[in-house]
Amino acid sequence: MDGCPQEKLVFYAPFYLLIIRFSGELRNSN
């Protein structure tokens, strides 16, 4: 796959946001 790194970042951005948000909720629950 000869895709630009930016395309991969745009593709993974939503997953990163979900993980960050999920980890933040876990910290608040503790």
How much is the pLDDT for 8? 82
Q: Which residue has the tokens 């991969």?
A: 8
Distance between first and last Cα of the chain = 42
Q: Where are the domains of the chain?
A: 1-30
> Can you give the pLDDT at residue 18?
95
The pLDDT assigned to 20 comes to: 95
Compute the residue count for the chain.
30
Tokens of 13: 């951005």
pLDDT by position in tens, the chain (length 30): 566 778 888 888 999 999 999 999 988 876
- What tokens appear for 4 in the block? 């630009």
pTM above 0.75, yes or no: no
Q: Residue 30: what pLDDT?
A: 64
pLDDT for 21? 94
